[in-house]
Amino acid sequence: ANPLKRVANKVTESLKGGGDGPPEGIPGRPAVESPSVAEPTEPREPLPPKPDQSGPDTVSPTGQPTGADQARMAQSGSYLTTAQGARLYDTDHSLKAGPRGPVLLQDHHLREKVMHFDHERIPERVVHARGAAAHGVFQSYGTAASLTKAAFLAEDVETPVFVRFSTVVGSRGSADTVRDTRGFATKFYTSEGVFDLVGNNIPVFFIQDAIKFPDIIHAVKPQPDREIPQAQSAHDTFWDFVSLHTEATHHTLWHISDRGIPRSFRMMEGFGVHTFRLVNAEDGTTLVKFHWKPRLGVHSLVWEEAQIINGVDPDFHRRDLADAIESGAYPQWELGIQTFPDTPDQTFEGIDLLDPTNIVPEELAPVQPVGLLTLNRNPSNFFAETEQVAFHVGHLVPGIDITDDPLLAGRLFSYLDTQITRLGGPNFPQIPINRPHAPVNDMLRDGMHQTAVHRGVAPYRPNSVDGGCPFTAGADTGAYIEAPVRVPEATKVRAAPESFADHFSQPRRFWLSMSPVEREHIIGAYTFELGKCYEQAVKERALQVLANIDPELCEAVATGLGLPAPKPTEPLADVEPSPALSQLGRTWPADGRIVGIVTGEDGDVDGVRAVREAVLNAGMVPLVVAPTGGTLGSGDGALSVQRTYATARSVEFDAVLLAGTPGVGSDAYTARDAKSAPSPAQPGTTDPRVSLLVSEAFRHGKAIGVWAGGEAALEAAGVPTDAPGVIVSDSGTAALSRVTELLGAHRVWERFNTQV
């Protein structure tokens, strides 16, 4: 007989006890009711979820029912205490030997307060440091249920989620609307454990192998000598690297396109980038790519707007997300999948599915919706939630597996590893925002910041003292079982497959799929970025890359740089455009858009009131702009002013309405308000701040509606009344209805001159 089993039986016998006194050898211990387990072979009932495994109980300060006021207060108790709970009578003065005397070392309150402050910061994320997040819910349609056994994708399952959006390059305090890739990371708190979909708003990546990640990030981050530029790709080291390393071409082109400057997190697509593998109940596998499709469509800023916002409101995207949620305009995305047969070669229509610089055009593999994400609650505490959330591509649930994409392999290591430095040890899954909502029954113990008080003496397996618990699960009891994929016999090499060598056909497809105005933006962006480089060799090499994408693109950028355009060094790929890649040409809902209603001292208050109501009824946000703060009109009908001529800037608005004679004769303007050094307004002329607002809105392709004399402001801004997207109407509501239609296309694209 097995000697270990004999020992186990003996221990089990002594545990049985029967409740008639302490086990032998432990005198004085009270009797413990022991489970009557004959032999440690049967799993017990699964543990119920512990209350502390649910997400943090946070509520939005606005619009939430009970307890909202309580939640918005930093402290709910009446008396200030030390961290140990002792009440304090003074927290403003150090303990001194007399009011002018030296501070005493015995001041324990001073020491505790300053010590804690000294350690308030943690290291920022090495990439994606700046972000904003929200809570929400994912509602599955069940359309993927035949492909995956993942419980959260079964029909009609609601799963709580936490989503963090981010820029990649900038520091935690950098501006939101820089040109960059955006992170789109979703934590699904499913009944089977946490599933993280850690994606970006660009479906491809700069590199094909994780071992290059430090190189690309070192190249794009501020240069190490002076630590400039912050949150910018427009510098030599970035263009040096991507021009030498041509597998970055596809991602760089997306980054340079309008996708690099989203209008809002709410108006971005998200992509899982890698190909994943779904596993169904019959162990059938399917390769998939994940897509998030925003309900409001995919929209971008224009470059000048993005630059102005970085100064005027560096928190633009963060604010936009929080405001939308607080106002009840909950952002939504459909999760979709492109599916491919799980063939041994892992390709689809000749496209290598393991190469993360490739997309599969939606025309070849349509995106099939599998569920709806709604963000409906702002975090209550940025640090506790947004900063401490830890995503990891290896947080997987049964039914979702990985593939052999070499970029994904490196990520599987990195996301755990980085938290050790960032969150100070291995216990970050215990931080409230990271806690699974599924029961956790692990045998991980101790370590820095351990907050659990684990009971028992047997955090090991096999054991008998805990009745053999915990047992391992099987396929029919919800275990995560890796898909038994065959690995081809091979020789160890440091090398990439042949198919990874095509660096230009996919970028060419992207370029050919763009509308003329999107191409103009791409040309403008390359010209700007390369124009910021100092090294001639870098610019020339970058132009060579462009020549291999498209000679017309190369020619236009070369002209802007004042350099000769090189010829392609390889034949141009013969590829079909993918119309789904263009952001133009469709109509989208206008709700959640911001409409500025600009009026003057003698403004049409009734008209403004009516149009404000109409904007609200259309699900949009009206912001009334007047010469000074306070109200327009008086008495019951008085209207609050949200922005003044001093605080308003065109970039905040998706469309502008001019009511009455905004700014005409306004004497509110003085030199101290100058935004672009115009001369102070003369009586009877338009306030320069209004002219600036109107001319910028016009230049940025925004719809402009005027009524009741608003034409004067158009004239002052040099905007023709018959220009495309300029609506002169009898009433504000009539102007608004045309403006709302125009918002469906996002911008008045006819205003942009195009030559390509």
Q: Which spans of this chain sit near ligand HDE (rule: CB under 6 A)?
A: 125-128, 131, 164, 166, 183, 185, 198-200, 205, 210, 213, 273, 389-391, 407, 410-411, 414-415, 418
Q: Report the residue number, 407 or 543, with the smaller CB distance to ligand HDE.
A: 407
CA-based nearest residue to 235, from 564, 538, 537: 538
Q: Report the residue number, 132 or 611, with the smaller CB distance to ligand HDE.
A: 132
Strand duo 655-659 + 703-707: pairing: parallel
Residue with tokens 């000697």: 3
In terms of C-beta density within 10 A (0-12 exposed, 13-18 middle, 19 or more buried), how is residue 494 classed? exposed
Q: Report the residue number, 174 or 515, with the smaller CB distance to ligand HDE.
A: 174
Q: What is the DSSP string of 666-689?
A: -----GGG-SS-PPPPPTTSB-HH
Judge whether 164 is annotated as a binding position. yes
Which member of 135, 200, 317, 392 is catalytic?
200
The tokens describing 291, both together, are 């897509």
Q: What is the 3-state secondary structure (H, E, C) of 595-664?
A: EEEEECCCCCHHHHHHHHHHHHHCCCEEEEEECCCCEECCHHHCEECCEECCCCCHHHCCEEEEECCCCE
Which one-letter amino acid corresponds to residue 5?
Answer: K
Shortest Å distance, C-beta 462 to ligand HDE: 35
Shortest Å distance, C-beta 389 to ligand HDE: 6
Judge whether 415 is annotated as a binding position. yes
Shortest Å distance, C-beta 407 to ligand HDE: 5
Between the two ends of the chain, the Cα-to-Cα distance in Å is: 84
Shortest Å distance, C-beta 513 to ligand HDE: 21
Shortest Å distance, C-beta 71 to ligand HDE: 24
Q: Report the residue number, 127 or 144, with the smaller CB distance to ligand HDE.
A: 127
Q: What is the DSSP string of 567-588?
A: PPSSPPP-----GGG-S-S---
Does the annotation mark 200 as catalytic? yes
Shortest Å distance, C-beta 160 to ligand HDE: 17
646: Cβ contacts below 8 Å, ≥ 6 apart: 668, 673, 689
The tokens describing 651, both together, are 């970039």
Judge whether 411 is annotated as a binding position. yes
Judge whether 669 is annotated as a binding position. no
Judge whether 494 is annotated as a binding position. no
CA-CA distances (angstroms) from residue 159 to 139, 195, 634? Answer: 7, 11, 49
Q: Report the residue number, 134 or 736, with the smaller CB distance to ligand HDE.
A: 134
Q: Report the residue number, 275 or 686, with the smaller CB distance to ligand HDE.
A: 275
CA-CA distances (angstroms) from residue 279 to 16, 38, 65, 365? Answer: 43, 37, 41, 19
Which member of 93, 108, 116, 128 is catalytic?
128
Shortest Å distance, C-beta 197 to ligand HDE: 9
Contact, 365 vs 339, CB < 8 A? Answer: yes
Q: Report the residue number, 201 or 463, with the smaller CB distance to ligand HDE.
A: 201
Q: Which residue is nearest to ligand HDE (CB)?
A: 183
Instruction: Give how far the C-alpha of residue 257 lies from the chain's centroid of Cα atoms, to the nearest Å.
Output: 18
The tokens describing 526, both together, are 């390359």
Judge whether 422 is annotated as a binding position. yes
CA-CA distances (angstroms) from residue 423 to 121, 416, 426, 499? Answer: 11, 10, 8, 39
Q: Exposed e or buried b for every residue in 280-308, given b needs 16+ CB within 10 A?
A: beeeebbbbbbbbbbbbbbbbbbbebbbb
Shortest Å distance, C-beta 124 to ligand HDE: 9
Q: Report the residue number, 414 or 505, with the smaller CB distance to ligand HDE.
A: 414
Residue with tokens 């992509």: 271
- Residues marked as binding? 125, 164, 213, 411, 415, 422
Q: Catalytic amino acids?
A: 128, 200
- Residues marked as binding for heme? 125, 164, 213, 411, 415, 422
